[in-house]
Amino acid sequence: MRSGSRKNATYTAFREVGRVIRTVQLLRYLSDAPLRRRVTAATNKVGAFNGFSQWLGFGNRGVIADNDPVEQEKAMKFDALLTNAVVFHNALDIAEIVRQLLEEGWEIGPEDLARISPYLTEHINRFGIGARLPCFCRAFVQSEVTVHTTADAISLWL
């Protein structure tokens, strides 16, 4: 008898144990509201990252046209590198803006920072013409906009 045969007793036992484990996890998920919130938050973060990555990878609508596995891997790694570089740059910009707001006397709490995402696209010009500058936004915030929360102020600076 093959080790993967459906009639193999060990295979059948492990398959049933797997089903029991899945059922227990599902029941735990359904009965534990904080766990559901954590899973939903993690899923939303992954979805936001993937959406951001797709937005950045605008060439050929995300389709890798090359059939060469080496070229496909290069394209995927380039997209990941580009996405991570832009996220890192956005995080640095956000940190600098938070530092400047703190120096100006703003009170910034963890709940304000929790609402900020590094997956910002409004200030990015993918085609390289007429990029917006953060210093331009500073004058805009000071003169024309009513800011309701610290997170609103930070998002306007970007």
Q: What is the pLDDT of residue 60?
A: 67
Which of 27-31, 108-112, 140-144 has maximum average pLDDT?
Answer: 27-31
Q: What is the pLDDT of residue 88?
A: 94
pLDDT in tens, 59-72: 666 677 788 889 88
Q: pLDDT-derived band of residue 1, with 50, 70 and 90 as boundaries?
A: very low
Rounded to the nearest integer, the mean pLDDT of the chain is 78
Look up the pTM and report it: 0.60
What is the DSSP annotation of the chain? --TT-TT-HHHHHHHHHHHHHHHHHHHHHHH-HHHHHHHHHHHHHHHHHHHHHHHH--GGGG------HHHHHHHHHHHHHHHHHHHHHHHHHHHHHHHHHHHTT----HHHHHT--S---TT--TT-SS---HHHHHHHHHHT----SHHHHHHHH-
pLDDT in tens, 72-92: 888 888 888 988 999 999 999
pLDDT of 19 > 80? The answer is yes
Q: What is the pLDDT of residue 61?
A: 67
Percent of the chain with pLDDT over 90: 32
